[in-house]
């Protein structure tokens, strides 16, 4: 209900020609951006080539733990530092409120990341390059990528996942060459 009733017959009144032009312009912009979205999805270089598979949480955790065991080269604050082979798989589990490992990658080598969550929905945000992906329990999010600049990158969780969400900060180390991995100063894991 409005305060004042519109004038009689307003609906059948003719639309002014300048208003028609605005409507036509708005519709054209909508159509261009709609098709641009489709074109950009195919040709835009920012789109990651990813695949997703269903997997049981426990099964993924097993893969992730086995991966850590096989490739661990050190430890940082209790988190295993792992050096996967180039062109190999990297299993990374997000869990309230930690990432399962600190991967050490070599610049210009390809890696296949498998991301999954052990509990709730998390976000995989690599900074400062600003790559953002969702990490869901029950799904293996496969992401192939090649780091093109050496340095330390932060992995933030960008989906609110509970009281410790803001502390869920991990790390990816990218080194220039394979030989540099041996020279990294790392704490050795305590033998169980």
Name the region of 182 (left: φ>0; alpha: ψ -120 to 50; beta: rest).
Answer: alpha
Least distance (Å) from Cu ion to the CB of residue 113?
Answer: 18
**Closer by beta carbon to Cu ion, 98 or else 122:** 122
**Secondary structure (3-state) at 128:** coil
Given the rule CB under 5 A, which residues bind Cu ion? 122, 157, 161, 165, 168
Per-residue burial over 97-108, b if 16 or more Cβ lie within 10 Å, else e, is bbbbbbbbbbbe
| Residues 6+ away with beta carbon under 8 Å from 46 | none
State which residue, 17 or 77, has the beta carbon closest to Cu ion.
77
Distance CA 192, CA 183 (A): 25
Least Å from the CB of residue 32 to Cu ion: 37
Nearer to Cu ion, 102 or 157 (CB): 157
Give the nearest distance from C-beta 127 to Cu ion in angstroms: 14
Nearer to Cu ion, 71 or 122 (CB): 122
Q: Measured from the CB of residue 17, what is the shortest distance to Cu ion in angstroms? A: 53
């Amino acid at each position: 209900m409005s305060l004042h009733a519109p004038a009689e017959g307003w609906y059948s009144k003719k639309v002014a020609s300048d208003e028609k032009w605005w409507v036509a312009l708005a519709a054209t912009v909508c159509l261009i951006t709609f098709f641009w979205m489709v074109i950009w999805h195919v040709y835009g270089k920012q789109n990651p080539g990813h695949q997703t598979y269903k997997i049981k949480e426990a099964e993924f955790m097993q893969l992730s733990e086995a991966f850590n065991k096989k490739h661990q080269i050190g430890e940082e604050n209790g988190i295993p530092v792992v050096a996967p082979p180039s062109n190999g798989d990297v299993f990374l589990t997000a869990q309230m409120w930690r990432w399962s490992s600190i991967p050490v990658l070599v610049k210009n080598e390809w890696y296949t990341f498998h991301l999954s969550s052990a509990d709730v929905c998390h976000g995989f945000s690599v900074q400062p390059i600003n790559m953002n992906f969702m990490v869901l329990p029950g799904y293996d999010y496969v992401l192939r990528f090649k780091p093109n600049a050496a340095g330390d990158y932060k992995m933030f969780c960008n989906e609110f996942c509970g009281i410790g969400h803001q502390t869920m900060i991990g790390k990816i180390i990218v080194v220039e060459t394979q030989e540099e991995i041996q020279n990294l100063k790392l704490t050795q894991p305590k033998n169980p």
